[in-house]
Amino acid sequence: MIDQSEERIRLAAEAGFIGLLGDATSEEILTRACVGSAKAVIVSSGRDDTTILVILTVRHLSAGTKIVGNIMQEENIKLAKLSGADLVVSPPRIGGYLMADAVETSHATPFLCDLMSVGGQMVLTERPAAQDEIGKTMAMATAGVVVQIHSNGRAIPFTERHRHIIQPGDLLLVISSAHGDGKAEGQ
């Protein structure tokens, strides 16, 4: 974590995280944070312009690092992607979807909030296809509910669950119990 607030750095350290006091737009600080060898960098500065500058700087220092950016304004999402973010998360946009859905439904929004929360009853995981799943359809997979597959660069939606055959190398997005053995209920 990089922050200009000593208090936030102290709190991060108390929670078991490593923090650097400084400006995340600085190449020197980012280099000290080892972004060049990081698996991923999450950029959430609180300001879209600063977030985009940090994304540009991280991408300059490390072409292969996965960058996830937090962008607040809809119009800046494309700029964050153009500056090098692999994925952009927009909390206001997600919140808007959830609130709009809550107008029409009573249970979908709480379900999605549970799925997104750390302490929820369910988890969404991304994992390689298990050997015993290869050759079966998505619907036949028994370790949770397969909601999407990524196969040969294509996203295979849930609507194809009875047609798509799981192949070696496929990545599965699976909903399962956070407290169980990974099996879907009733199996």
**What residue ranges do the domains of the chain occupy?**
2-90, 119-187
| d(C-alpha 74, C-alpha 186), whole Å | 41
**DSSP run (H or E) holding 96:** helix 91-104
pLDDT recorded at residue 117? 84
Residues with Cβ within 8 Å of residue 95, at least 6 apart in sequence: none
Which CATH fold topology does 2-90 show?
Answer: Rossmann fold (3.40.50)
The model's confidence at residue 181, banded by pLDDT at 50, 70 and 90, is low
Alpha-carbon distances of 175 from 74, 123, 128, rounded to whole Å? 29, 6, 14
| d(C-alpha 115, C-alpha 18), whole Å | 28
Choices 2.30.30.40, 3.30.70.1450, 3.30.40.10, 3.30.457.10: CATH for 119-187: 3.30.70.1450
pLDDT recorded at residue 141? 84
pLDDT recorded at residue 158? 93
Percent of the chain at pLDDT above 70?
96
Mean pLDDT to the nearest integer, 146-164 = 94
Closest CA to 80 of 102, 58, 105: 58
Please give the mean pLDDT across all residues of the chain.
92
Among 60-74, 109-123, 142-156, the range scoring the smallest mean pLDDT is 109-123
For residue 185, is pLDDT > 50? no
